[in-house]
Structure 1
Amino acid sequence: MSDHALACLRNTFGYDQFRPPQDQVVATLLAGQDALVLMPTGGGKSLCYQLPALLRPGTGVVVSPLIALMQDQVQALLQLGIKAAFLNSTLDMEAIRQVEDQLRNGELDLLYIAPERLLQPRTLGLLDSCRIALFAIDEAHCVSQWGHDFRPEYLRLSVLHERYPQIPRIALTATADRRTQQEIIQRLALEQAAVFSRGFDRPNIRYRIAQKQNARQQLKRFLDAEHRHDAGIVYCLSRRKVEETAEWLNREGFNALPYHAGLPAEERAANQHRFLAEEGLIVVATIAFGMGIDKPNVRFVAHLDLPKSIEAYYQETGRAGRDGEPADAWMVYGLQDVIFLRQMLEGGEAPELQKQIERQRLESMLGLCEVTSCRRQALLSYFGENQHPPCGNCDTCLDPVETWDGTEAARKGLSAIYRTGQRFGVAHVIDVLQGKPTDKVKSNQHDRLTTFGIGKDLAVDEWRSLFRQLVARGLLGVELDGYGALRLTDACRPLLRGEASILLRKDKREAGKRGVRVATHQRFSGEDRDLFEALRNLRRDLADLQDVPPYVIFHDATLSEMVEQRPDSLYALGRLTGVGKRKLERYGDEFLDVLLSFQS
């Protein structure tokens, strides 16, 4: 790596060394070659194109589908003294003309642009007249029709290779299995690109999944025990549930805001701004929230409903712990979630091929939930990483799952479903198994069946768990008629005929904790804690003056390093991680004053 690149890394970004494979990616782009970068969220993807854009002549053009991320990145870059701007639908015509003039005059280091705007003839004509350092295609998985977040406009981005063959391109993603990776290469004409993969593991995130019972109370116990004053995101599948959960959290003493596509645009923008700017705020959201959110100190992501796919789960949980500090991915789910998602899928208007893809994704997500081995191993193997050892930092590693021989119970349950005509949901079948003479049981004469009362040895929750696991394994189907009637599949025949047995997991009542971990600054006490709070208050005041999120001034990790190192000069302050030349000039004196006031 050139001395020039290392000097830029230190002076501009405040880092002394690259994280692998950043140095290799930077060298590839500086040599004018293409690159495909697969790196987990929080792994430092942005630096891979930002630094080469500064060192190569011209402007780096970054294609991003995410308005929130564009604005966030530009704010952070301006803090570093980098000349950056964006072009998207939030700008009026005068602002657009100003940015275009800056680009035309070579006054920008980086320009962020939405793919729709990039592909307009007017924009391509503008780029023809400008000096371009590189093209960066962020969220490159959006090009894949097999991916979970397909954007049709991404299919046309191969025009960059056709129109500007001499300008290096870099495609980046944190979410792509092998099939999606190949489609990115094919559709973006990256056959000659160097491929860099840092893997998908996020070792600082603890994955925990439990059976849903009383989801709100389970969430409250989790937050009370581990994240009472932390920033976090709670995901729900429906807008109504988002709003009700946010209201409930506020009644329980938390600071929570709703976010979903049905809210007025102004309210959505205001809630997102508050989440970025304030400490300890919880956003309750549908999947409409989170893409492009760069807040580094999100300490937990909780799911009150089952995500649609492992890709979605990985991307949503990846919004926790971007600063590398300990974070939690916590989820509860139940059979009703599976029924709801399948009803949504089958009731949609997507072509049959797309529905088949979505079915496969949901089955994989169910498999992750029901696995009895290391949760992280299962997650990473989905993305093609099959050699990962047990992680020691997921619920199944920390509190190994007990299993039981469910063969006989499963046969009883399957027989009860068959004999009741495969027309009833879980609750009714369990009533039959437990011998409860309800009006519905008696009116259907199900109290006369041979299966009536043969399941009294298991509790209701145990039967629910059994049926959920049989559905997850494909031995049972669920009719999508609004009633969730259970039906047998061909896959259950060997079990019914006595040709196969089945081991089931014993569900725990909670996504249990062991060895609660906290971020570095949360371990401070006494004077160290007072100093950290004083530094954080200064950061908030400076951010409020500029109407930017506090973390674009300095990350929590940088404030923690200030507390630990206690620098007593501007030179010493400037050696800390994340304190580049421009930030030292802008903020050094004020932060040093606070630090010196705590010197004994």
Structure 2
Amino acid sequence: MSSSSTDPYADVVWDDAVAPPDEWAPPEDGWMPPPDESSSPRRASGRVVPGADPVAVLREVYGYAAFRGDQAAIIDQVVGGGDAVVLMPTGGGKSVTYQVPALVREGTGLVVSPLIALMHDQVDALRANGVRAAYLNSTQTPPERADVERAYANGELDMLYVAPERLNLAQTTALLRRGRLSVIAIDEAHCVSQWGHDFRPDYLALGDLDERFPGVPRMALTATATRATHRELTERLRLPDAKHYVASFDRPNIQYRIEPKVEPRKQLVQFIRSQHEGSAGIVYALSRKSVDQTAEYLRGQGIDALAYHAGLDASVRARHQSRFLREDGVVMVATIAFGMGIDKPDVRFVAHIDMPKSVEGYYQETGRAGRDGEPSVAWMAYGLGDVVQQRRLIDASPGDRTFKMRLGQHLDAMLALCETVGCRRQNLLGYFGETSEPCGNCDTCLQAPETWDGLVPAQKLLSTIVRLQRERGQAYGAGHLVDILRGANTERIVRFGHERLATYGIGADLSDQDWRSVIRQLLARGILVATGEYGTLALGDAAAGVLRGETDVPLRRDVLGRGGSRSSDRARKAAASEALDPADRDLFEALRSWRGGVAREAGVPAYVVFNDATLRALAEHRPASVDALDGISGIGAKKREAYGEAVLEVIAAAG
């Protein structure tokens, strides 16, 4: 990897040995060779010795044997005092690249994090591993903040998390100057870019961190960035000399599925029921009203669903988020306000009942599934209304022509992903500048879409729009145009005399749903455009060639339920316990039950205690002594001390 002050991608080589979705994935059988006791990086006090070997820190603190992909190179760069820009997929191992340098270098690592939920989750996980971590945010009382500030000033913290808004306060800068910083990590760095999908103005002020804290290595990290976003965040954060590390954006454990929207809530229920019983999932909708109604509908169907959006009381949001993080089988229905920084590793599916505004947003949201590396699904129901609504929102947005063009580019890329007849993963990765072969694990690969010649239907539709505009000066939305083409006898058609149009009834050979599919795909290609407040349809720039018969119009034939049957999905998406030999499943479930009790008592998510991969390794290898726990991936010194005896008791009781 190398750097460039003008184009961060110019010299970057994509990392083919990217870390798997689990941040520190264990060997396939979950076992590691025992550590060399002479290389322990901790003092007798339990604190990591500055200057310790990063691999020894990884082993002792986190319980993992080796770094994956570019993690070691990034850590070497930062430990040596250099800056770094890191692009890795969600769950790809970003946090270890700044946590380990913070432990190895003298001082306290500062992490700029956009969400309180992310701070809390990461601090809980770090403390469980024996790391002295804390945060400063609005959830704390003044005495609690004072205690954290005192601990930082006294050099008693390894990691400190703050939001960009707090970091930009003069008193925060004054506090940080009272201590010593080892590294500054700017997480979710795409928020600094107006090309990105989560722009936050307070990130713009972070460009002067090199002046406020000279000599402290800085890192910008994100799970999603196009070349434009990557370039802009590098410039705005003033990282001209940083080395750039771009991992593959591929999440091979996620199956991408998109189907036409007919009755989205019923389709959603069918999809959720096709998943393994007890699966946790996130359902995204664009509006608060839709979130509330969908959550209520799912509960009426016997699904444990909760709502989350900014219109709910803060205490309700906190309670719902806590249940989602700590309990199994909860489905969170949310706007995009929920999810950024959520570390729950065992989300088995992410569903969209409305089309996202951009591919970057879609990738970020779907990336919250399967962070543990287990098979997961990204499902979406997409329809004509989504296209019309998004076009209308762009037209009504308060921005100049350049801004609206940028929004249009984002939408066009999202439409291309939805309408592709090729591999969805290829399309998705191509958006981020990465080439790949067909994945064999998305809906279009598993069942190749059928295409048909849509030239004549397109000409019929376009002719109808032209006649209405030229002969009568009228413009209508999709529903009325379809009624004209199908020869419907509606009150509106009779009132306006549209049954006398030459195109009335010439499209009766197609169903209402077929016509909506035609219109949706023509909108996606720019042959049609949606205009005005009510989304009326007009001819796009590409319409003339279609009317003259000079432009081919191949269309995909919509098929509901594409991507596999319920039974095949269940077989493919086996639970962690079902991946074990039958003799080990009971022990896995016993360990899982024990973990749940410990997590509830400690008030932390279950994965903070141990993740499923560690429980699976314990069930398979059945260690009989505390020393034997050293061979289990995911059990570091702190967790061995805290839980070792209890784990051995569970294993012994299982026989």
Q: TM-score, normalised by structure 2?
A: 0.89
Contact 1:76 1:552 in 2 (8 A): yes
Per the alignment, residue 174 of structure 1 pairs with 223
Instruction: Go from structure 1 to structure 2 and tell me whether the alpha carbon gap of 1:411 and 1:190 turns closer, same or farther (over 3 Å shift).
Output: same
Contact 1:339 1:480 in 2 (8 A): no
Q: CA deviation at 1:90?
A: 1.4
Which secondary structure does the structure 2 equivalent of 1:404 belong to?
A: strand
For 1:498 and 1:225, the matched residues in 2 are separated by 44
Per the alignment, residue 6 of structure 2 pairs with none
Deviations 1:110-166 (A, max 9, x none): 000111111111111122221111100101111111111111111111211122231
Among 587, 591, 614, the alignment partner of 1:535 is 591
| Letter of the 1:521 counterpart | S
Equivalent residue runs for 1:424-435 within 5 Å:
424-435=476-487
| Letter of the 1:565 counterpart | H
Among 389, 412, 422, the alignment partner of 1:340 is 389
Which secondary structure does the structure 2 equivalent of 1:299 belong to?
A: strand
| Letter of the 2:577 counterpart | H
Q: CA deviation at 1:574?
A: 2.5
Among 107, 115, 131, the alignment partner of 1:66 is 115
Contact 2:576 2:616 in 1 (8 A): yes
Among 452, 456, 460, the alignment partner of 1:412 is 460
| Letter of the 1:560 counterpart | R
Where does structure 1 lack aligned partners over 5 or more consecutive residues?
Answer: none
For 1:524 and 1:459, the matched residues in 2 are separated by 48
For 1:157 and 1:222, the matched residues in 2 are separated by 43
Per the alignment, residue 88 of structure 1 pairs with 137
Which secondary structure does the structure 1 equivalent of 2:475 belong to?
A: coil
Which secondary structure does the structure 1 equivalent of 2:53 belong to?
A: helix
| Letter of the 1:41 counterpart | T
Per the alignment, residue 542 of structure 2 pairs with 491
Equivalent residue runs for 1:560-575 within 5 Å:
560-575=616-631
| Letter of the 2:108 counterpart | T
Among 509, 533, 537, the alignment partner of 1:481 is 533
Instruction: Go from structure 1 to structure 2 and tell me whether the alpha carbon gap of 1:135 and 1:3 turns closer, same or farther (over 3 Å shift).
Output: closer
Which secondary structure does the structure 2 equivalent of 1:490 belong to?
A: coil
Per the alignment, residue 506 of structure 2 pairs with 454
For 2:276 and 2:500, the matched residues in 1 are separated by 52
Per the alignment, residue 495 of structure 2 pairs with 443
Q: CA deviation at 1:521?
A: 2.6
| Letter of the 1:528 counterpart | D
Which secondary structure does the structure 2 equivalent of 1:53 belong to?
A: helix
Per the alignment, residue 44 of structure 1 pairs with 93
Q: CA deviation at 1:232?
A: 0.3
Contact 1:330 1:511 in 2 (8 A): no
Deviations 1:82-133 (A, max 9, x none): 0000011111221111111111000000000111111111111122221111
Q: CA deviation at 1:64?
A: 0.9
Which secondary structure does the structure 1 equivalent of 2:347 belong to?
A: coil
Q: TM-score, normalised by structure 1?
A: 0.97
| Letter of the 1:495 counterpart | V
Q: CA deviation at 1:524?
A: 4.2
Contact 1:332 1:511 in 2 (8 A): no
For 1:48 and 1:556, the matched residues in 2 are separated by 23
Give the length in aligned residue pairs: 597
Contact 1:246 1:258 in 2 (8 A): yes
| Letter of the 1:586 counterpart | A
Equivalent residue runs for 1:64-463 within 5 Å:
64-385=113-434, 387-421=435-469, 423-463=475-515
1:513 paired with 2:556, answer no
Instruction: Go from structure 1 to structure 2 and tell me whether the alpha carbon gap of 1:3 and 1:86 turns closer, same or farther (over 3 Å shift).
Output: closer
Identity %: 52
Which secondary structure does the structure 1 equivalent of 2:269 belong to?
A: helix
| Letter of the 1:335 counterpart | L
Deviations 1:483-504 (A, max 9, x none): x211111221111012111111
Deviations 1:194-219 (A, max 9, x none): 11111211110000001001111111
For 1:214 and 1:111, the matched residues in 2 are separated by 47
For 1:523 and 1:4, the matched residues in 2 are separated by 35
Q: CA deviation at 1:359?
A: 1.6
For 1:526 and 1:203, the matched residues in 2 are separated by 27
For 1:186 and 1:146, the matched residues in 2 are separated by 13
| Letter of the 1:571 counterpart | D
Per the alignment, residue 653 of structure 2 pairs with 597
For 2:420 and 2:73, the matched residues in 1 are separated by 37
Pairwise CA RMSD: 1.5
